[in-house]
A and B are shown apart, each in its own frame.
Chain A
Amino acid sequence: MPTRRQTLVSVITAALWQILPRPVRAADRSLTAFNAAFGERIALPPLAQFQSATAALATAVQSMKQAPDAAGFAGMVQGFHDVSDAWMGLQFLRFGPLTQNQRLDRIAYWPERSNITEKQIAAFLAAADESKLAPASFATASVALQGLTSLERLLFDSEHAADGKPSSEKAMAQLTARTLAAAYRIDLIGAIAANLRQIATESYAAWQDFAARLAKGDQAGFAASPQEATNQIYAGLVTVSQLMGGQKLGLPLGKSLEAAKPHQAEQWRSGRSLRNIARNITTLKQALLSDPAGSAIALVTVPDAAASLRQKLATALDACEQALAGVSLPLDLAVADATARSQVQPLLVKVNQFRDILTNEMPKAAGITLGFNDLDGDSG
């Protein structure tokens, strides 16, 4: 029969066993402040930009409907580029309201399964059913149809011009023809634009609400605690760096020239593949370094460590930008060219080196626990 002292010792020991291995980390209160500042200063601005870009696109489509000519077409193309630029600024928000209602996938279904987008567009055009374009109905259509992926298909040809530049010759001809088919095509673009604007409006409002709740330590069901929310915010930045490396560069590049897959490059028809990566880099700079309260470097509370990491991140991102400037062809052409491939490979290396800082060096200093399983599955 254990004595009372033995029992007391074992109870204390058991309690210490639970307490001792726990690492020291920032108090929940300061994480609440970070989460709120992130929401206000890092998430809301690009969401606002996305909202205004989608509104402008919708206006451009209205103009096209009034006057379906080359000028109207050019307005839609400009709108497409602005919305795509804005979308690049949102790709790190993989936590919170954009994960609801399949918003992320509906904005852009990518990487895409080959043929699914073509099939969906073809089916819609063949049926030419106006009722399917009504907002409530369209929001439940295939994700392949709802956003930028099909929008690009409708504005750009799948064959480049002779000089390798993006071509819209066929696309424009199909939209400016004075036929019922052309009118429906424009209406379909209008439905996509309206859908994007609706998603943008909902997302901005939802994040406004979410940021306010985060300030009070309320994670609105998206995370179990302020620390969890911070982990998820950070994980979104890691995800974007993995997207840049693995999917935007690695997949088109392949292991060799023979294994190159040029049409896996993001938005290759509109010639945006490298521009998208440049936008991602700019966004990462902002999300990591720009704001004293809401950018990720704010999580590193030890001044020396913060200064060192700030330097490393800035240098690594600059190196990515320099490497990107060294690619002399559009990405889909570069990966299929024996010489240009050797310009893309260093870019991939720099992107992966940057990613490694985010996954290996920074988490501990920032008090972040990166989910082991949700990042990378059972292979890779």
Chain B
Amino acid sequence: MEKARFWSRLAAAITGTTAETRSRIMPEGGARFLSACLGRDGAGSFEAAILEADGRVSMQTMLKMRAHEMALHPSRAICLAAGRQPGRYSTMIDLATGRSLFDLALAADHEFNGHAAFIGAGEELITTEGHVETSLGRLSFYDAATGRWLRAWPSHGIEPHEALVDEARRRMIVANGGILQRQAVGEVESSLVVLDLMDGHVIGRTVLPEELATLSMRHLAMTASGEIAVAMQDQDAQSDLRPLVGIMDLRGRLRFLEIPREIALTTRGYIGSIAVDRASRITCATSPKGNVAMFWSLAEGRWLGAIPVADGCGVAPAGAPGTFLLTGGRGDILLARTLDAADMPMKPEATVLTRNSSWQWDNHLTLLAA
């Protein structure tokens, strides 16, 4: 099928179309996904792709850099490929044509930290950035139509990684990773900072207790009630098994989700990404080194089980409640289910959609609105 026809159908699908057309081209409840991946030419290049709910790739485009998060515009068929930390490029991509529209105008003394989010109706977007020498963090605002830099707020911490925009509660949540040197083993200064969405003043700040000072809070996902699921990385994983996944409530209090010991031993202290399902009932965190996706029920904080995914990292909520799409660096795409026929949380089950090792999916998977 010709590329142009595919992309225009896709654009129509994203921007809203008739129910009939939707059921014809979106077989599984309307979900499709964006991911960065390794270039298939085997020469170390990078791409971005759209995955269908059944695991087929329906669009791919070359990128000049390795992208980390792909942030989707709230209404238009465009997305921002955020350059992986420490990135010099973040590119706006037209999903209808696969073309790169423009790069963001990054300041020379800062670098992209891999994550971005659109604000409001999408006129502006924010990226997490660090100063190239000091790693002091900021959130830069860019014009979403041109890539022009508008302003920046301090992230009130070191090495901000992911930031979420919570329009409903007029706040922004930033994970300051706090890592100055990635290879160094030791304590870091990590924090979760909540900023007022109007003017960036600090509403709240959460830090970890001293015995967990080697944990870097890096990835975030939000529930419908505004709780934040946090994924962490232990900068001294060899010396102990520490919590790696937590939930922060609206008051800024953090509670941890337990990982069974035999799985915890395989994670090497690193969680790749975290997601919350469509119904805000289940959270999933991935361990690329342990080659597993892990699941908990949110209401009880209870461990449900794990699903093997080779070099698994990307996870995003799929269309139906309790379901997730999982991607792995060796080409696995799986659909996981965590709610049984009685709509109760269960031991997760997965269907392998494809296992095509010519596609190497990178860290994050983004749901395209259905």
Choice from B114, B183, B288 contacting A371 with Cβ under 8 Å: B288
Within the complex, the shortest CB–CB distance from A365 to chain B, in Å, comes to 9
CB closest chain-A residue, reference B309 = A373
* Stretch from A74-82, A106-114, A318-326 forming part of the interface with B: A106-114
Contacts between the two chains (Cβ within 8 Å), count: 113
Q: List A residues 19-37 near B (Cβ within 8 Å).
A: 21-23
Q: Are B114 and A378 in contact (CB under 8 A)?
A: yes
Known: A379-B113, A379-B114. A109 touches B85 (CB 8 A): no
Choice from A142, A264, A369 contacting B360 with Cβ under 8 Å: A369
Instruction: Flag whether A163 is at the interface (Cβ < 8 A).
Output: no
Residues of chain B with a CB closer than 8 A to A116's CB: 236, 239
Instruction: Flag whether A6 is at the interface (Cβ < 8 A).
Output: no
Instruction: Flag whether B238 is at the interface (Cβ < 8 A).
Output: yes
Residues of chain A with a CB closer than 8 A to B288's CB: 371, 373-374, 377
Please report the C-alpha to C-alpha distance between residue A228 and residue B357 in the assembled complex, in whole angstroms.
Answer: 11
Instruction: Flag whether A246 is at the interface (Cβ < 8 A).
Output: yes
Residues of chain B with a CB closer than 8 A to A144's CB: 239
Choice from B56, B85, B239, B330 contacting A379 with Cβ under 8 Å: B85
Contact with B along A189-203 (1 / 0, CB 8 A): 000000000000000
Residues of chain B with a CB closer than 8 A to A224's CB: 308, 310
Residues of chain A with a CB closer than 8 A to B312's CB: 373
Instruction: Count residues of B near A (Cβ-Cβ below 8 Å).
Output: 54
Instruction: Flag whether A18 is at the interface (Cβ < 8 A).
Output: yes
Please report the C-alpha to C-alpha distance between residue A251 and residue B330 in the assembled complex, in whole angstroms.
Answer: 30
Q: Are A369 and B330 in contact (CB under 8 A)?
A: yes
Instruction: Flag whether B223 is at the interface (Cβ < 8 A).
Output: no
Q: List A residues 106-146 near B (Cβ within 8 Å).
A: 109, 111-114, 116, 142-144
Please report the C-alpha to C-alpha distance between residue A125 and residue B134 in the assembled complex, in whole angstroms.
Answer: 40
Known: A359-B44, A371-B330, A377-B233. A111 touches B272 (CB 8 A): no
Known: A113-B187, A113-B236, A228-B310. A379 touches B182 (CB 8 A): yes
Contact with B along A53-65 (1 / 0, CB 8 A): 0000000000000
Q: Are A113 and B186 in contact (CB under 8 A)?
A: yes
Residues of chain A with a CB closer than 8 A to B209's CB: none
Within the complex, the shortest CB–CB distance from A18 to chain B, in Å, comes to 7
Instruction: Flag whether A342 is at the interface (Cβ < 8 A).
Output: no
Q: Are A114 and B186 in contact (CB under 8 A)?
A: yes
Q: Which 10 A-B pairs have the closest CB atoms?
A: A373-B288, A372-B329, A364-B42, A371-B311, A379-B85, A373-B313, A105-B238, A111-B185, A373-B329, A360-B44
Q: Are A109 and B43 in contact (CB under 8 A)?
A: no
Please report the C-alpha to C-alpha distance between residue A369 and residue B331 in the assembled complex, in whole angstroms.
Answer: 10
CB closest chain-A residue, reference B314 = A373
Instruction: State the main secondary structure of chain B at its contact with A.
Output: loop
Q: Are B183 and A23 in contact (CB under 8 A)?
A: no
Instruction: Flag whether A363 is at the interface (Cβ < 8 A).
Output: yes
Please report the C-alpha to C-alpha distance between residue A362 and residue B199 in the assembled complex, in whole angstroms.
Answer: 51
Q: What are 5 A-B interface contacts by the 8 Å CB criterion?
A: A112-B185, A247-B183, A372-B311, A378-B85, A379-B86
Instruction: Flag whether B4 is at the interface (Cβ < 8 A).
Output: no
Q: Are B42 and A363 in contact (CB under 8 A)?
A: yes
Residues of chain A with a CB closer than 8 A to B42's CB: 363-364
Q: What is the interface of chain A, defined by CB distance below 8 A to chain B?
A: 17-18, 21-23, 102, 105, 109, 111-114, 116, 142-144, 224, 228, 231, 246-247, 250-251, 261, 264, 359-360, 363-364, 369-374, 377-380
Instruction: Flag whether B161 is at the interface (Cβ < 8 A).
Output: yes
CB closest chain-B residue, reference A246 = B183
Within the complex, the shortest CB–CB distance from A372 to chain B, in Å, comes to 4
Q: List B residues 334-366 near A (Cβ within 8 Å).
A: 354, 356-363
Q: Are B313 and A22 in contact (CB under 8 A)?
A: no
Instruction: Flag whether B38 is at the interface (Cβ < 8 A).
Output: yes
CB closest chain-A residue, reference B69 = A378
Q: Are A371 and B185 in contact (CB under 8 A)?
A: no
Q: Are B85 and A143 in contact (CB under 8 A)?
A: no
Q: Are B357 and A369 in contact (CB under 8 A)?
A: yes
Please report the C-alpha to C-alpha distance between residue A246 and residue B184 in the assembled complex, in whole angstroms.
Answer: 10
Please report the C-alpha to C-alpha distance between residue A17 and residue B55 in the assembled complex, in whole angstroms.
Answer: 11
Within the complex, the shortest CB–CB distance from B142 to chain A, in Å, comes to 21
Instruction: Flag whether B225 is at the interface (Cβ < 8 A).
Output: no
Q: Are B329 and A21 in contact (CB under 8 A)?
A: no
- Known A109-B239, A374-B291; 16 more pairs at CB < 8 Å: A18-B354, A22-B358, A102-B265, A111-B185, A112-B185, A113-B187, A113-B236, A142-B239, A371-B360, A372-B37, A373-B272, A373-B313, A374-B311, A374-B329, A379-B177, A380-B182
Known: A113-B186, A363-B42, A379-B85. A373 touches B362 (CB 8 A): yes
Q: Are A22 and B183 in contact (CB under 8 A)?
A: no
Q: Are B239 and A111 in contact (CB under 8 A)?
A: no
Please report the C-alpha to C-alpha distance between residue A370 and residue B311 in the assembled complex, in whole angstroms.
Answer: 10
Residues of chain A with a CB closer than 8 A to B179's CB: 379
Instruction: Flag whether B73 is at the interface (Cβ < 8 A).
Output: no
Please report the C-alpha to C-alpha distance between residue A35 and residue B46 in the assembled complex, in whole angstroms.
Answer: 30
Most chain A CB atoms below 10 A, which of B37, B44, B214: B44
Q: Are B362 and A372 in contact (CB under 8 A)?
A: yes
Residues of chain A with a CB closer than 8 A to B43's CB: 360
Within the complex, the shortest CB–CB distance from A256 to chain B, in Å, comes to 10
Residues of chain B with a CB closer than 8 A to A250's CB: 183
Choice from A18, A113, A251, A373 contacting B183 with Cβ under 8 Å: A251
Within the complex, the shortest CB–CB distance from A352 to chain B, in Å, comes to 14
Residues of chain B with a CB closer than 8 A to A228's CB: 310, 330
